[in-house]
Each structure stands twice: as structure tokens, then as C-alpha cells.
Structure 1
Amino acid sequence: MRDLTLLLLTLVALPAVFAVKSHDFKTCSQAGFCRRGRALAERAKENPSWKSPYSVDPSSVAIDSTTAAFTAGVKSSIYPEVKFGLDVRVHRDGVVRVRMDEIDGLRKRYDEAASWALVAEPEVSQDIQWTVAKDAVRAVYGDNKDIEVVVAYEPLRVTLLRNGKEQIVLNGEGLLHMEHFRTKEAVEQEKSGWALPEAPEEGLDLDDAQVVMQMNPRSWFEGAGDDALWEETFGSWTDSKPKGPESLSIDVNFPNHGHVYGIPQHATRLSLPTTSGEDAYYSDPYRLYNADVFEYLADSTMSLYGSIPVMHAHSADSTVAIFHAVGSETWIDVAHPKPSSTHTHWISESGIMDIFLMPGPTPADVFAQYARLTGTSALPAQWALGYHQCRWNYISSDDVRDVQTRFDEEDMPVDVFWLDIEYAEDHKYFIWDKKSFSDPVDMMHDVEEIQRKMVVIVDPHLKRTDSYPIYQQAKELDLLIKKKDGQEYEGWCWPGSSAWVDFFNPASWDWWKSLFKTVSDGDKWAWTESTENTYIWNDMNEPSIFNGPEISMPRDNIHYGGWEHRDVHNINGMLFHNMTTLAVMHRTDPPKRPFVLTRSFYAGSQRLSAMWTGDNLGTWEHMAVGVSMVLSLNVGGFSFSGSDVGGFFGNPEPEMLVRWYGVGAFSPFFRAHAHIDTKRREPYLLDEPYKSIVRDILRLRYSLLPVWYTAFREASVTGLPVVRPHYVVFPQDEGGFALDDQYFVGGSGLLVKPITSKDVTETTVYLPENEVYYDYFTGQTYRGAAKGKNVTVPAELHQIPLLIRGGSIIPTRERPRRSSPLMKYDPFTLRVALSTGGTARGELYLDEGETYAHREGQFIWREFEATTEGKKGKEIRVRSRNLAAQKPGEAVDGVALAAYDDKNDFARAMERVRVERIVLLGLAAKPKSVKAAGKDVDWEFKAGAAAASKAEGSASVLVVKDPHASITSDWDIIIQL
């Protein structure tokens, strides 16, 4: 069996090292339902008189007095015998949910996608008053009564407006089409009479297409031929399509928004380029179909490993968004009829229309609205924000020990070591290959001795052999995915012949969680050869199947409830990592915060996991697109994301590797990873000066961990992303709407522009406002402008362009340690960057970092503030205050701050942690005195120097030494000028 597996890998996987095999994956023209949807759009475009055949039946309009939902029957003039139902309701936060489904059809459409994505059933507003008229139903709502939703009857059209201005329009172009269920025989009988009419007689003022539309609307609407309605082939695979055609198309337009973002995951720019229209940048729509794409292109609409069907639309006036809860393959066209408007066309293989309209009007409002739907990013364990070292594969226990030793010898911090698939005997996950890993628990204890962790891969494919207890149990419990004939599905992956657990089956959940227990419970299987500090990596969960269509699972496979794989494909990977996360969480008592990395994901994945962008290449192009991909994922609600440092494939030169560490250090998830065929490239193997530069980058990441952790706390509460594009921070600055090569870290005021090109010695950074920005390392000042300005900053190989926005306070920990838990009691440095108005502000959130004790109020949340006071601004006051006490109406991860006790056990344990240094940038003059608690403290001052341009120079620097300030208490430091 091993020989057969190796042969299979040689034939299937190894060619991917040289180039992406695009022929393994469909284009829109090769997907019947996408082809049909796009053809309808083209026909509609060519016929200005076309209007949608779908309309509301006025006699069916009803307002539910309990749910305040508007419901109605929908009919199609082309298919009058088919019934549809429309349900529109407004949530308490103003989000509008629009659902449409086929009623009393031949079969039931898949309608459960939202149940997997939503964190809870949304609360419907009881204050909505629907006004029913002859031609429409409408509701006006909002605190200022500025939002209106209008459902027009004929044709059916749903519009969200703010202050009378259209924000989102559904079916404005008339492309709504829900392919109803039918039998092949009925269609063949009907279409036998669908012969196209002859060309019109001379003089008739209609073109051929219009004649077809009028004389034979069904033929015009669906096309006259049998275009993959009942069976579809791709390569050597045939999809039997037992239910026939069932696709859903809908145009979603943003008439007053010229930029759209989101729908991750694609390797492209943040502001999505066009795919249709005369100026289309791409020829194919954006595809959402979770797929294992080896060495993916660095500029493409190809689907990748995950799918989040959420899209933001932005203008200087407002931000809005939509979330389409559909789990099947979906293609999305993007066009800009005008620079200030965007048209999109969504084409899905199956499912109902279930669209959430988020009215904004600010980016922060949209993030909060989406978070209330699908949840926020989980607050991770603090160590998970450190540096992760991985490759395919560390080959033995001694290899892991040696890597750890080398990191320590070179004084390089690291928190986590990873093991890929070769740790497992014959790729039977949970079972160690004792030839190489003879003492796995001892190895893990050696890593844990320095408070580090290990991550071990567990993939979803189970080797089909009775000698593998996991497979044997899953088979006996009837938990495996079935073929269309009801028999166990067999595919090929790393172990050879494999089976897959159906996590849509609730019976699989407790069973899967039980496998991760470290202590045996009677005769039940347990992973006794692991520890509580062993965390999990879920790969290949798209699912990736080497001998399957598009390297995945046949669409006519059957899941729990009788649903076909086509219905749930994009959700499948999320259920796997969700169950793994719950398993890791409950292997300890009390539970610790889990860490699970996933490659495949869907809307809601952010609640439980981290992700990475898959099998990238060691090229400058992939380094650059990785930055915009991570920003897009943050826009899509999945903050805990990153790309493989160094690229998974290839052998990057030292310059590239150094620059990639600069990218990774400013990604939420920071991991180096490499293919089994690459040369070893652990950072300690670099020659000088590269090794020392990377060491400094790693130490920089660790010094900024308080900033990252505070940003994650905010993301876990508000939904705001951890890394923020310019349009999120400055929503009215048009100069920043398309920027995706520089960004802000949380709300800290740190602006970073990673270098992703070769031989760079300087770069330009865009400053969006008339404010001073300081170089993080040197104090060099740069001044923006009211309408935005580009400034030139140094970017030699040892330099990362990192600026502090004036008005920010950055808390750091500067003591080099071998891992982040060893920093727990280290003192803090505060960098106070004064604004042009002489003020600054920052936050710091701390908790124990591994358990859920913070949910019991065990945390510290401080606000730091600098103000200019006194006559003629001669006094600068820097203070620390308990931020939780100022926000009694808010919560931190479920803890009501009204009940917060600033003398909680964690805070008392941290009382001895002090602020050892305050670095204040931008004082106008040398101080006369610096006092803390009425007593003089030591300080040093270095005057700044103005530059000839008056816009740049070096800031003055005041260093206050040991101001006797605890991180847990209130204090004031007074600087007299």
C-alpha cells in the first residue's frame, strides 16, 4: 500500500511543484450553471427592454404581527406554474434579511447554510412598520428614520436606501433566476417545441434576440439547448446531477459605491478588479469553491482554499455590505458601469436566496453588523501570537530538539514547533511513527520546559484499514460520507485509500472530541501520546482528494440529511476545524483556549480557528499578494490569518527571506513553513548580516505582542479587524480606498508598509491626513496633508517602514525572551507620540493568556493618555486610568464591565509589573522638570532637528526612566516645559 501511495503522489502531487495545473480546475465556461448564468446576463445586456420575470403577488402580501416579517408569494411570468416564497425582515441593528425559496417544489432546496454560519438566530426588530401600497412594500427605520427598504412588486426588486440614496439593489438588472426542480422527461417534452423562430422579415424594427425573447421567452431565458442540466463531465469525471438544474442567480448592485472588497479567498488586490464590461481586468468571475490549488497564481480569480461570501462596498459617503448565506460553488462578476458605482452578479450552483443587507453606514458599523451575524474572531491564547516554526517535515524527535536548541543558541524567540504528516505511521493520524518519533511525550515535555508549545497535523482523510482504530470506529458508527448509491465513499489522499467523516452528522461530534483526550476512559481510544500543550493543524479539509474531480469530492456524494456534497461543499471544511477546536478545548478541565489552524474555511470560521493562505510560492509576487490576501480576510471577518513566511514552495534567496520575515512579523498569524523538497531555511541558518536582521525582526514582533493582543481583544468584541486597510481607518479619504500594500495594526496608530520587492532602499508611504507621523525606530517625522500625501521613507534591508501616527501611545515589552510566556512579568515601555495638538492616547489589555479566566473578570484594561495643559501649553500630563471603569455598558468577551473589579486576582498578581520607561516624541521644548507622584524622576532629553522642507525632520525625544508606575494602577506624570 505504501508503494501505491508513493506512486500516486508522484503522479498527482509532484508536478505541482513546477506550475499550477490550471486544467485541473474549472473556469466559468466549463461549469454549466455559471455558463448559463453568464449567458442570461449577456442576453439581458443586449436587450434594454428586458425586465425580470419575477414579481410579487400583491394578493399574497402579509405582515407577521409576531416577527414583523413581510412575506409574499412570488411568481414568474415565464414559469407561472412554479411558486416561490419571499421573506423580508429587519433585524434590531438595521440589517435586512431577504430570503426566497421554491414552494411546494418537486424537491427541497438546501436551506441550512445560514444555520452553520450564524452565531445565533438574529433578533428581529419589533418596531418596524411596513407600509403596503399597490406597487411596493416599504419600511422606514433607524434612529434618524434615514434608512428605507423597498420591495417593488413588478418586477421584484429589493432596494436599501439611506437618506433617499440607493445603497444596495437586488435584481435591479433583472438577473434573478432560481432554476426550479423538474424532471428530465418534462423538460425534453417542453423543449422539443422550442425551435428558434426564423429571422424577422425585412423592415421589422426588432433584432433577432428580441424576437426570440418575445416569441419564446423560456428559450430566451434559459437557452434552447440542454446545457449540462442533467449530467456534466469535466476531464474524466461525470457529475450525475440526480436533482437536475437548481442554480440561483442574483444581481447585487451598489449604485453609489465605486469600490468593493471581500469575498475571500482570492489572490488579487484588496479593491476587487473588474471581471465584466469593456474594461474588465479579468475574464473569469471570482470563484468561491474551496479547492486545493498547488502553487496558485499570484493574480487570479481562481478559487482557493476557503470561501466567505461577504462583500463590502465603499464610497466617501458610506460603507455597506452583503452576506449571501450559500454553501455551494458560487461565481461573482464585478463591473463598474461608472467609476462611482459597482454591479455584481452572483451565480450559485444550489441553495436558496438568503442575503443579509448591512446598512453601515461606517466601516465600523458594517464590521459590527457582520459580527452579530457570524461572530467575532476568538480571543486567542497569547502564545499563539508569537513566532511559529514549521516545515514539511521535522523528521524525528531529535530533529525537533535540535531545532529548539539552535533557536536558543542564537537567542531567537519562538513559541511553537510544528509537525507535518510524516510524524504519523503510514499517515494514520494520532498514531506516531515510532521509528522516527520513539518518545513523543518526552519530546513534547522538552519543548514545554521553556513554556513552548507543539502543533501536530490531523487531516480529515482516514486510512481505510481495520488496523487503524479511528477508521474502524467511524465505520462501525456509520459516520462516513457516502457515494450516491449509499455505499462508503473511497478516495485517495496521503494514506492511499481513504474515507472521510461526515461532520454534518451530529453523531460524529462527541465521538471526534473524545479522540483527543489525553487520558484513556475505560476501553475507549484516547490520544495518550500527546499532552495538553499539543495543538492541532487541520489541512486538506476542502476536502482535498487526489483522484477526485478538481482534486476534491464528487458533488453527488451524500451527507447527513440526504444533502449532496454540492450543497455543502464550501461549509464542509469549517465543520472539521470547528469540531477539532471544541475537541482541543475540552481535553483540559477547566478548558484552555484552543489553537487550531485550518486551511479551508467559511463564514463563521473566525469564531474558533486561525487560517493561513495555503501553498504559496517563494516569489516576490506571492509575498506581495499575501499582504492583500490577509487584508481581504480581515475585511471578511477572519482576522487570525497569515501567509507562509518564505513561501511553501521554492528556495528564497536571503534578501527575499529577510523581507518575508518583515511581512510575517506584521501579520496576525506569523509562521514560517516550507515544502519537504526545499532546503532547510530556519532563520538561524542564515549567514550574517541576514541572521541578525531576522533576529531583530523576531524580537520586534515579541516586543509588540501587547499591541497585537490588545488589537485581538478589540476584534473579539467589536468585529473590527486586527489589521486595517486605509478605507477602514479613514473612510472619507478617497486616496486610500485602493491601498493594500500598507495598513494599520488595530487601533494602535502603527502604520506599516512591508517591503515586497527586490533591491529596495527606500519606499513611499501614503499619509492620509494633516498629522505628524514618527518613524518607530528613529523618531524621524513626516507630515501628511489634508487631501493625503506620499512621503519617502528609508527601507534598507534592515529597515521595516513602520510609523507611529501622532496622537498614539504604544505599549511594548523590550526584554528579549525565548518565548512569550516568559515575558509575563516583564516591565513595559510606553512610546508616546504627540499629535500636532499635543495629545496622545493608547490602550493595553492583559489577561492570563491561556485559560478563560478573563470571562470571570480576571483581566487588566488600561487607558494611557497624554494632554497639553496649563498656561500656553507649558504642562504635559501623561496618565494611566482603568478603562473598564469608564465603560460600564460594554463587555469584554461576555463579561459585563459594570461588574468589573479592578482588584481581581490577576490584577493583584500583576501589581509588581511596572512601566520602566516612557519615551515621549514631539515635545516643543526641553522640560524644566518631570515629576511622578510629586517627586522628581530621572529623564533624558534630545532636541529634534527641523528639515529644510518643514514637513520632515527628527522629533525631540524625552526618555523618562523608571517613573515608579505600576501597570495596574492609576498614575500621573507631569512634565513642565
Structure 2
Amino acid sequence: MIPTFTFIEIIDGVLQQDNYVTIQVGETTAQIFYDPFVVNFYLVQVHQVVIDGSTLTFDESLDQAFAFNVKFPAALQLYGLHEHADSLALRDTNGSDPYRLRNLDVAGYELDSPMALYGAVPVLYGWGTYSHAGVFLHNAAEQWYDITNGQWDTQANVMVESGMFDLFVMIGPSPEDLVQRYLSLTGTFRLPQLWTLGYHQSRWSYMSQEEVKDVVANFTTYNFPLDVIWLDVDYTDGKKYFTWDPATYSDPVEMQKNISAAFKRLVAIIDPHIKVEKGYNVYDGALEKGYFVKRANGSVFEGDCWPGLSSYIDFLNPDARQYYGSYYSYDKFPYSTPVLSGIWNDMNEPSVFDNSIEKTLPGDSLHFGNVSHRDIHNIYGLLHTMSTHQGLLDRDNGTTRPFILTRAHFAGTQRYSGIWTGDNTAGWGYLSVSYDSCLGANLLGLVFCGADVGGFSGNPDTELLQRWYQAGAWLPFYRAHASSDTQRREPYLFDSGVQGVIRGAIQMRYQHLPVWYTLFYEHERNKVPVIRPLFYHYSYELETFKLRNHLLVGRDILVRAVAEPGVETVTVHFPGSENEHWMPVDSTEVYEGTTDVDVPVDIKSIPVFYRVGSVIVRKDLVRLSTDEMANDGYTINACLDRRNQSTGTVFLDDFTSYNYANNKQYNYLRIDMDDVNVALTKIDEDSNPDGFDFVIDEVIIHRIVQEPQNGKPGRYVKTVHKTDANGQLLKNLKFNYDEPVSIKLGL
């Protein structure tokens, strides 16, 4: 959602002194010293942020480089600066390279490194037990950050290649407030279509339409849920985008009909480089209209990429964005149909196959308005996805929510596209860092995030592959993808034991699709992350600040990835006070908050827990796609607390259009439970729930019968209810949502 800006000057007081001025706005105070230039920010007299202008340095050359220092006096740990293959908690860089922000095409990137990767989001959060503040440097040039963490000394020295010093300061006071303030500036991810939250299968490349059809058929034959099959670059005619290879994809319409008949969808890759070839309509039109990036001497830039010699669309030019986006229309992209439901924007750092210029456009390349590329490098990918997003909206007359996946990204990319972690490797460390990367992205609004399951490069052994399917099922974007030089690893190719584990992981994902869909709606509505580090809700626990391999799905589901081989137990940190309890999904223990427990694991699953006091809405009858599950009923899992109460939410709409936003056509319900009653309350009185019935197949009550004590787990029991107190099947009940709904459960 694009943020709306209304600037209202609200100043409660100004105090002018000889060397400084104090400005009061509510509970926030800014104290500005003139010489040396220093700005202090306070919240309720707690020192939150210092912009130290005494270190502010401007290079007066053409490049306009500058540097400054920012301190977080009340913070203990810094986060942000997405994207790096490193821990979520930023490391001290004293004695090592600084964190670098520069969008680059990096294959086989290093772990535990501050090296630049595909995305650059120049946001720093300073996190303390009771203090949360941040800064957003609104600048698209290359940047470096030297980090220091510690009591009273949490700070960053920032160096910027060029551009403006345009800094936003954000002050909590809570973690939720801080993230909401940032998303108020840069926008949220719109509610995605439901099918995008299912399982995606990809490879570089499926080399023919017959191979695509065979993969789809095998997923059905072997009973694996699948929603999307992906096409990498080899479906095109000589790497010319918006075309099909006439030999290997000779009848793309028939292929799309075949995919649709299996209730699946298609996503295809479209990159920003355009093959230099006279007679290729995309190239000819862009050349004639002057829509390509130019060299410093004014000639059109040409560099090597997948098609060979290529030129690059100048997406800074709004007319060029419109031109490129128009090719997504059904008439300009021949043989495309609505089954081609999403687009993959890759190589948009942008990538140029020339190591002498770090595999990207030269810094002195020129864009629209004679803007130097070095000034806007990190937003090239963002501008690319803007063009694609508008093109898909126009293609479908604004009726369908576009689905786009991008590799390069910047602050605000979430308004147009999801992301993934790029060309990772089949290794345990890459599985682990996928949680760090996507948790960091979620704190910065990039909530639709995932990693290539199994690793893009290399060949995972079956243990790693199974663990990756299990862990990846709890990231927002769930796709397997692999390089052309790897062994084939579609899940049906393995023995029955491995198939069973992978199938179970994918089915677990589909069971929880109502949770995912509701969380994405609540992200757009409330500006909250979809997945969250534990410190987001439990910042008073210092143990959570550097915790790895853990995440929360929303507030109520705790996941612990198994990210090491051959283990029989993993240590799980259960957050919260002794009054916070957690129930495993697949056993009957109960664990107490603020404890570390060695939990037994086997290859069949990873530890997943529901928070006591929550209601988890699932669809337990798993079919082979989201479309086939659309009319199935729901299972309510009520995890009762000590007062025999639990609460949750569920969101239903048509799963496709913008009617939920434009016409308030949706059913958003609060669910309140005790041991015998279900209460449903429509949250928005003016919403229209017609056609979006919450059909309840069954209610499962989880009730604690033995409290955990002295670090030992307690125990809970389940009771399943399929009828109301009158003996009527729950799934046959009809409700008027304009009035509170109350159901008394049968035995």
C-alpha cells in the first residue's frame, strides 16, 4: 500500500538558546546544537538518538560523498541494513570491513559477511530492553556502515558515495511503534492472492513445455500439493523477453491450459536487459524512443548479459516504465494468458557480465534527466518492479492483485513485490541464515520473503533437503529452485521415506494457509511483520536479542528450525514469563516461558508450538492446490489458558481482487473461546461478508491438565467437537455476521 502523506506541523514548544534550540512535539524532544552541529532526540526524557554532525563530512568533488555518525544511547543492539548473509543482530565491525549497501549480482555469496548482496535498505534500528529507535537514510547511492554495539556506545559511522543527506529519525517507544513508523513512510505489502502462499516449484530451467507438463503431472501422481510452476530464461526465444522459444515452447497456450486444468499457475522470468537485435520489437521501440540507459558520452550503453549484447531500460524515465510495462499485456506478450499469473524480475541490480565494473552499470552512466547512475543505483530494481506492477495491473484492468518476485530491492519495494535471498548454496549455514535474512526483511516491510529450498547451487543430501522443506514451510514465500548444473530434486524423485517427510512439510504449510492469509491482511492493515524475531514481542528478554534459528509466525506460532545435521535434540527458547506457555503441534507437552529446553527431534518434523491463549485457524483437509481447498471448511484450534480462554482472528475474501480494499467486501472475525463456547464477532461493522462464510468443520480444544514445573514440561489434552449442543454438525451451521455469533459445543 502506497503511504499517503499529510504534513501537519505540530510543535508544542520551542526554546531558543545561544548555541542550541529545543523543539518539543508531544513526548518527543529534539535538541539542536549549532556548533558543533549535533541533534539529540529524547522520548520522555530518555536519550534515544544522536546525529553527530561534528563528524559530518562532505566531499566537494563531483561525487558529493559524505559521512556522519549516529548513536543510540539507550540501545544495546543494532539491526537492519538488509541485505546481508549474516546474523539478524548486526555485528561489531571494528577491525573488519563495514557493512556495505550496494545492489550487486553475487553468486555463491559468503556467510557471516558484511559484503554487499542484491538488496539495500538503509535503515538502522537501535534495540534496547525498553528503548527502540531508528533512522532511515533516504539515499540510493552506495553506503557503508561501521557498527559498534554495547551499553551507552551503540552507534554507526556512515559513509555515502553521493547524493543528498536526507535522514528520517523514528522513535518507538515500543518495537511495534518503531516498525509502524517506518512503514508509514515507505508503505506496506498489499494482501497477496492466496495461491501465492502455496508451494512453488522452479528450476533453471525446465527446457520444454513437455517437461513442464510432466513435472506438474508428477506432483499430482505422487500427491504433493503444488500451486505454481516457474519458467526460467530458457523458455524465451534466444533470451528475448516477451517471447517463447518456437522449438521447445511451440504451443504455450496449450501448455497453460494443461497447467490450469491441474489447478496450477505459471510464473515466468522477465529481466530488465533487452537483447540488442534489430527486428526485436521491444529493442527497436526502446531504441527509437530513447528509453535505454546511456554512457557518459551520450551513446546507448551496451553490455553482456543472458542474451549476449544487451541494453538496459532506463526505468527512471516514467515513459520508459510505461513502455516496458505495456509488454505484459496479452496482445503484446503473444500467447500469454491469465494462467501466466505472476512475473519474476531477476538480474535487476542491474547485472552486467563485466567484472571490471563489479558486474553492474558504470557509475557515470546516465539516466533520464542526466542523473548519474551512482546516485540511483540501489533503486534500479525498485523502479523495474514499479513498471512490472503497473503493467500487470493494466493487463488485468486493475481487477487482480499482481504477483511479482524481485531480486534487487530497496526501501519501498514491498509496495510492488516480494523478494527472495538470491543464489544461495546447498549448505546448513545457508538454511540457517534464511531465517535471519527474512526476519530482517520483515522488520523493514519486505514481508513476502523466502529462500531457495535446498539451495540454488550444489547438491544437498537428503537430510539437508528434508530439513529445508520443513524450515522453509514457515517462511512467507515457499519455493524450491536450483541451478542448471545441479542434480534434479523434485520431491517425487526420492524414495518413499524422503517423499513422506517432504510431503508432510508441504501439507503442514497448506494446513496453516488461513493463518498466513490472515497475517498478510493484518500486515497491510496494522503495519506489523508477518514473521517476527522473538525480541519483537519479548524485548525485555536479553536472550532473544541474538537468538538464531527461531521465529514467530505472527504472535502465536513459535518455530525452531533444525539447522545442523545428525542431531537428536535442539535447544528451544520459550519466550515470555512463567505465565506464558507453549504447546507443541505434534505432541502433548506444555512448556513454560523464559526457559531453554532441549527438545527431542527426529527427521519427520521440526519443533513448532502454539502459544497458550491463542486460537489457530487451519484447513486440515489438504488437497493438491489452494483452488481445490477453496470451499473446504476450517478447523479451530483453541489453546486455552489458565482462565479457560483463548482468542484469535481469521480473514476471508475472494482471495484474488481488490474488493476487500475498494468495496470492503470481506469477513474479518474475532474468535473468542472457552471450553464449551465459540464466539464470532465481525471486527468491522461496515464490511460486507456476503459470500465469505466461515464454515467450521471442527473445533479442537487444547486444555492444560498438568502445569509445567521446575523446568519440566507439563501436559495438555485435546478434545474434538464436530457438533453443537443441539447435535447439528458445525459445518452445516449458517451465521448472520451482522450480529455476534455464539455457538455452544456438543460433546
- Aligned twin of 2:701: 920
Asked if the contact 1:254/1:342 (under 8 Å) is kept, the reply is yes
1:18-46, Cα deviation, whole Å (9 max, x unpaired): xxxxxxxxxxxxxxxxxxxxxxxxxxxxx
Q: Counterparts of 2:270 and 2:736 in 1: how far apart (Å)? A: 41
Structure with bigger gyration radius? 1
Q: Counterparts of 1:968 and 1:625 in 2: how far apart (Å)? A: 47
- Aligned twin of 2:664: 857
TM-score where L is the length of structure 2 = 0.95
- Aligned twin of 1:957: 718
Q: How far 1:597 moved relative to its partner? A: 0.5
Query: Paired residue for 2:146, among 314, 333, 342?
Result: 333
Q: Counterparts of 1:136 and 1:843 in 2: how far apart (Å)? A: 50
Range with greater deviation from structure 2 (263-272 or 163-172): 163-172
SS at match of 1:532: coil
Query: Paired residue for 2:681, among 870, 878, 881?
Result: 881
Q: How far 1:718 moved relative to its partner? A: 2.0
- Between the two proteins, what is the percent identity of the paired residues? 34
Query: Paired residue for 2:121, among 308, 321, 334?
Result: 308
Query: Aligned pair 1:366/2:246, yes or no?
Result: no
SS at match of 1:426: coil
- Aligned twin of 1:690: 498
Asked if the contact 1:914/1:967 (under 8 Å) is kept, the reply is no
1:206-285 to structure 2, matched below 5 A, reads 243=62, 245-276=63-94, 283-285=96-98
Asked if the contact 2:74/2:151 (under 8 Å) is kept, the reply is no
Q: Counterparts of 1:694 and 1:252 in 2: how far apart (Å)? A: 46
1:630-656, Cα deviation, whole Å (9 max, x unpaired): 111111210101110000001101111
Q: Counterparts of 1:950 and 1:284 in 2: how far apart (Å)? A: 42
1:519-542, Cα deviation, whole Å (9 max, x unpaired): 3xxxxxx11211123121000000
Query: Paired residue for 2:236, among 424, 444, 460?
Result: 424
Q: Give the unaligned 5+ runs of structure 2.
A: 725-729
Query: Paired residue for 1:808, among 604, 614, 637?
Result: 614
SS at match of 1:312: strand
Asked if the contact 1:327/1:570 (under 8 Å) is kept, the reply is yes
1:375-394 to structure 2, matched below 5 A, reads 375-394=187-206
Q: State the aligned residue count.
A: 733
Query: Aligned pair 1:153/2:34, yes or no?
Result: yes
- Compared CA separation, residues 380 and 180, structure 1 to 2 (3 A): same
- Aligned twin of 1:5: none
Query: Aligned pair 1:680/2:480, yes or no?
Result: no
Q: How far 1:947 moved relative to its partner? A: 7.8
Q: Counterparts of 1:125 and 1:976 in 2: how far apart (Å)? A: 58
SS at match of 1:373: helix
Query: Aligned pair 1:470/2:309, yes or no?
Result: no
Query: Paired residue for 1:699, among 507, 515, 528?
Result: 507
- Aligned twin of 1:169: 50
- Aligned twin of 2:598: 792
Q: How far 1:447 moved relative to its partner? A: 0.8
Asked if the contact 2:183/2:444 (under 8 Å) is kept, the reply is no
Query: Aligned pair 1:407/2:219, yes or no?
Result: yes
Asked if the contact 1:371/1:718 (under 8 Å) is kept, the reply is no
1:323-361, Cα deviation, whole Å (9 max, x unpaired): 00011000001013x435311011000011111000111
1:634-645 to structure 2, matched below 5 A, reads 634-645=442-453
Q: Counterparts of 2:539 and 2:709 in 1: how far apart (Å)? A: 32
Q: Counterparts of 1:465 and 1:800 in 2: how far apart (Å)? A: 51
Query: Paired residue for 2:17, among 133, 139, 151?
Result: 133
Q: Counterparts of 1:355 and 1:299 in 2: how far apart (Å)? A: 28
Q: How far 1:129 moved relative to its partner? A: 3.4
Q: Counterparts of 1:135 and 1:323 in 2: how far apart (Å)? A: 27
Asked if the contact 2:240/2:307 (under 8 Å) is kept, the reply is yes
- Aligned twin of 2:163: 351
Q: Counterparts of 2:711 and 2:560 in 1: how far apart (Å)? A: 23
- Aligned twin of 2:266: 454
- Aligned twin of 1:228: none
1:660-697, Cα deviation, whole Å (9 max, x unpaired): 00121000011000000111100111112110111111
Asked if the contact 2:595/2:711 (under 8 Å) is kept, the reply is no
Query: Paired residue for 1:537, among 339, 344, 351?
Result: 344
Q: Counterparts of 1:323 and 1:122 in 2: how far apart (Å)? A: 19
Q: 1:126 is matched by which residue type in structure 2?
A: I
1:556-609, Cα deviation, whole Å (9 max, x unpaired): 101111111100000111100111111112201342100110000000000110
SS at match of 1:425: coil
- Aligned twin of 1:509: 321
Q: 1:515 is matched by which residue type in structure 2?
A: Y
Asked if the contact 1:252/1:344 (under 8 Å) is kept, the reply is yes
Asked if the contact 2:385/2:404 (under 8 Å) is kept, the reply is yes
SS at match of 1:922: strand
- Compared CA separation, residues 948 and 291, structure 1 to 2 (3 A): closer
Q: How far 1:453 moved relative to its partner? A: 1.0
- Aligned twin of 1:54: none
1:205-248, Cα deviation, whole Å (9 max, x unpaired): xxxxxxxxxxxxxxxxxxxxxxxxxxxxxxxxxxxxxx2x4101
- Aligned twin of 1:671: 479
Q: Counterparts of 1:973 and 1:762 in 2: how far apart (Å)? A: 41
- Aligned twin of 1:288: 101
- Compared CA separation, residues 864 and 119, structure 1 to 2 (3 A): closer
- Aligned twin of 1:755: 562
Q: Give the unaligned 5+ runs of structure 1.
A: 1-116, 182-242, 520-525, 868-874, 886-898, 925-944
- Compared CA separation, residues 950 and 161, structure 1 to 2 (3 A): closer
1:730-752, Cα deviation, whole Å (9 max, x unpaired): 122222122232111113x0100
Q: Counterparts of 2:265 and 2:521 in 1: how far apart (Å)? A: 22
Q: 2:291 is matched by which residue type in structure 1?
A: L
1:93-116, Cα deviation, whole Å (9 max, x unpaired): xxxxxxxxxxxxxxxxxxxxxxxx
Asked if the contact 1:772/1:836 (under 8 Å) is kept, the reply is no
SS at match of 1:678: coil
- Aligned twin of 1:585: 393
1:440-451 to structure 2, matched below 5 A, reads 440-451=252-263
1:76-225 to structure 2, matched below 5 A, reads 119-121=3-5, 123-142=7-26, 146-171=27-52, 174-181=54-61
1:839-869, Cα deviation, whole Å (9 max, x unpaired): 21111011111111112111110111124xx
Q: Counterparts of 1:383 and 1:714 in 2: how far apart (Å)? A: 18
1:767-795, Cα deviation, whole Å (9 max, x unpaired): 122122101122321122xxx21022222
Q: How far 1:454 moved relative to its partner? A: 0.4
| Cα RMSD, aligned residues only | 1.8
SS at match of 2:60: coil
- Aligned twin of 1:766: 573
Asked if the contact 2:2/2:415 (under 8 Å) is kept, the reply is no
Query: Aligned pair 1:721/2:560, yes or no?
Result: no
Asked if the contact 1:763/1:795 (under 8 Å) is kept, the reply is yes
Q: Counterparts of 1:442 and 1:951 in 2: how far apart (Å)? A: 59
- Aligned twin of 1:29: none
Q: Counterparts of 1:714 and 1:661 in 2: how far apart (Å)? A: 26
1:126-184, Cα deviation, whole Å (9 max, x unpaired): 34433322111111122xxx310111111011111122221000016x32112224xxx
Asked if the contact 2:471/2:606 (under 8 Å) is kept, the reply is no
Q: Which has the higher relative contact order, 1 or 2, with Cα contacts under 8 A spaced 6 or more apart?
A: 2
Q: Counterparts of 2:588 and 2:651 in 1: how far apart (Å)? A: 26
Q: How far 1:976 moved relative to its partner? A: 10
- Aligned twin of 2:692: 910
Asked if the contact 1:333/1:346 (under 8 Å) is kept, the reply is yes
Query: Paired residue for 2:418, among 586, 601, 610?
Result: 610
Q: How far 1:966 moved relative to its partner? A: 4.8
SS at match of 2:408: coil
- Compared CA separation, residues 832 and 333, structure 1 to 2 (3 A): same
- Compared CA separation, residues 641 and 332, structure 1 to 2 (3 A): same
Asked if the contact 2:721/2:746 (under 8 Å) is kept, the reply is no
